[in-house]
């Protein structure tokens, strides 16, 4: 009798909760699959939907690239999953991505996860649509015109030379905390990722507001040119409208995220690849020498847009870096109507993630894909013949507004690095992680030594 009670107790304690859990998972999967569009004869893409409510978000957050690589190997170029509270289809491959990127406003519309929209705010460019997006993008693009970039060159050039923090440690920590929690479950409770991200965001907003008020008091911009923030300030005051401080803070925060984190990631990858491939670094230096950029400091040619545009091989090094290690892994959309893609349906209302890193990995255009070979981007340029095989800045109407600025910054960074020092990666080839921007797991410990000038 006692043994029977013990068995029954064990069944109630362990087996019943397990059965309830498995039943919940099955019901969850059926619920997700039932949202397919019955009017479309095509099936849903293959894949799994994960745990109830959480979906597969936890696996993605914890495993990142490993999780995505496993999914690609198992399900191919298009598969279903459940991320950040919504059913999602992940898409890769030039043709599939082309269909998504060129379908903006017609088939899909941008919609980042709820945590991103909450932290960055509804007033930033990535969360605007149609006419609002078009007008705001036009305003911001003025800050990245060729003339504006020319003004930025000497300012950018000083940054790698100084290579020292500016003392704003609290702001740096807040920014890193915000980025870490940008993609999190949409649960705003104490100590949750969203809660920590919002607290960090508020610190950044306070500093930006201080900067805005200083610009307002100064009236005329320093240096005789207007930066993106100044242009946005003028935009919000147009036609006698009241200055919208919250919208300005959100837009400036987005520009900080898009302009700082992505270029910092690419610059780190440049150090890694050039540190591992000294022959490529030597070819960069040879190009600099031919252009008069590798002389003694009092003889070397000044950098400007015209000179930078002549550095073709250096530009190819940057492209190859962005091919192998794109800072942003992909982009988010929502299906405006049920789509047919590659033999599957994507139901209306489902999220669509187009993958940049996977699309680069599977592109037939590139041979020896894992090899770091900048020469592959010498004439003819591969992205000209298949532009959706190489999409480090996205594409279509939502392509990155600051892509020309990023190219200029990375070229200047490469030039300053190549002509001032040699370096050694202390831990060898780094393991890369996505969180949400790509960066080395070990933070790339590196030993720098002065460059002798001999090549």
Residue 226 CB: number of other CB atoms within 10 A?
19
Of all residues in the chain, the percent with pLDDT exceeding 90 is 43
pTM for the predicted model, two decimal places:
0.86
**Exposed, middle or buried: residue 5 (CB in 10 Å: 0-12, 13-18, 19+)?**
exposed
Asked whether the predicted pLDDT for residue 11 surpasses 70, the reply is: no
- How is domain 35-450 classified at the CATH fold level? Cytochrome p450 (1.10.630)
**Structure-block tokens of residue 68:** 């995505």
C-alpha torsion 279→282→284→287, nearest 10: -130
Of all residues in the chain, the percent with pLDDT exceeding 70 is 83
Q: Do the Cβ atoms of 26 and 329 come closer than 8 Å? A: no
Residue 43, pLDDT score:
94
Tens-digit pLDDT profile for residues 201-215: 999 999 999 988 888
User: Please, what is the average pLDDT of the chain?
Assistant: 84
Find which of 142-146, 229-233, 426-430 is predicted with most confidence, using mean pLDDT: 426-430
Residue 298, pLDDT score:
53
* pLDDT tier at 383, thresholds 50, 70, 90: very low
In the chain, where the domains are located: 35-450
CA angle, 121 then 124 then 125, to 5° = 145
Asked whether the predicted pLDDT for residue 14 surpasses 80, the reply is: no
Sheet strand arrangement including 330-335? 78-83, 86-91, 351-355, 330-335, 108-110
CA angle, 118 then 123 then 128, to 5° = 100
* pLDDT tier at 112, thresholds 50, 70, 90: confident
Task: Say if strands 421-425 and 438-440 run parallel, antiparallel, or are unpaired.
Answer: unpaired
Find which of 241-245, 285-289, 446-450 is predicted with most confidence, using mean pLDDT: 285-289
- Mean pLDDT of the 365-377 span: 92
Q: For residue 353, give the nearest of 136, 116, 159, 11 by alpha carbon.
A: 116
* pLDDT tier at 158, thresholds 50, 70, 90: confident
For the chain, the distance separating the N- and C-terminal CA atoms, rounded to the nearest angstrom, is 88
- Mean pLDDT of the 134-162 span: 82
Residue 385, pLDDT score:
47
**Structure-block tokens of residue 333:** 């959309």
Number of residues that make up the chain: 455
Backbone phi and psi for residue 143, each to the nearest 5 degrees, phi listed first: -75, -10
What's CA 270's distance to the chain center, in Å? 16
Asked whether the predicted pLDDT for residue 139 surpasses 60, the reply is: yes
Tens-digit pLDDT profile for residues 298-312: 556 788 999 999 999
* pLDDT tier at 381, thresholds 50, 70, 90: low
Residue 159, pLDDT score:
72
């Amino acid at each position: 009798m006692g043994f029977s009670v013990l068995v029954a107790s064990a069944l109630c304690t362990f087996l019943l909760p397990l059965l309830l859990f498995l039943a919940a998972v099955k019901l969850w999967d059926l619920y997700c699959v039932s949202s397919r569009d019955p009017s479309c004869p095509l099936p849903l893409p293959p894949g799994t939907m994960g745990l109830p409510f959480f979906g597969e978000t936890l696996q993605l957050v914890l495993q990142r690239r490993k999780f995505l690589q496993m999914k690609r190997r198992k399900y191919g170029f298009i598969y279903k999953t459940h991320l950040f509270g919504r059913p999602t289809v992940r898409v890769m491959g030039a043709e599939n991505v082309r269909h998504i990127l060129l379908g903006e406003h017609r088939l899909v519309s941008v919609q980042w996860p709820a945590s991103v929209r909450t932290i960055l705010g509804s007033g930033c460019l990535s969360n605007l649509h149609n006419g609002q997006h078009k007008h705001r993008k036009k305003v911001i693009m003025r800050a990245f015109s060729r003339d504006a970039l020319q003004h930025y060159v000497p300012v950018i050039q000083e940054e790698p030379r100084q290579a020292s923090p500016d003392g704003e440690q609290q702001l740096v920590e807040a920014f890193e905390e915000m980025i870490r929690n940008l993609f999190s479950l949409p649960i705003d409770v104490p100590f949750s990722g969203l809660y920590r991200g919002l607290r960090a965001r508020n610190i950044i907003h306070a500093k930006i507001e201080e900067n805005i008020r200083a610009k307002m008091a100064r009236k005329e911009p320093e240096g005789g040119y207007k930066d993106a923030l100044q242009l946005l300030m003028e935009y919000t005051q147009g036609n006698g409208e009241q200055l919208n401080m919250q919208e300005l803070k959100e837009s400036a925060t987005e520009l900080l995220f898009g302009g700082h984190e992505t270029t910092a990631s690419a610059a780190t990858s440049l150090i890694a690849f050039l540190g591992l491939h000294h022959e490529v670094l030597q070819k960069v230096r040879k190009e600099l020498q031919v252009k008069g950029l590798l002389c003694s400091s009092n003889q070397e040619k000044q950098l400007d847009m015209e000179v930078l545009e002549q550095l073709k091989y250096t530009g190819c090094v940057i492209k190859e870096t962005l091919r192998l290690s794109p800072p942003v892994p992909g982009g988010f959309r929502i299906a405006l109507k049920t789509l047919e893609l590659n033999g599957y349906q994507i139901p209306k209302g489902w999220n669509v993630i187009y993958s940049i890193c996977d699309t680069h990995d599977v592109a037939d255009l590139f041979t020896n894909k894992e090899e770091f070979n900048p020469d592959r981007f010498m004439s003819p340029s591969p992205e000209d013949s298949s532009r959706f095989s190489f999409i480090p800045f996205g594409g279509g109407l939502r392509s990155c507004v600051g892509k020309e600025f990023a190219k200029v910054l990375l070229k200047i960074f490469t030039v300053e690095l190549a002509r001032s020092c040699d370096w050694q990666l202390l831990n060898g080839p780094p393991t890369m992680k996505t969180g949400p921007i790509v960066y080395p797991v070990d933070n790339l410990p590196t030993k720098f030594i002065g460059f002798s000038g001999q090549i």
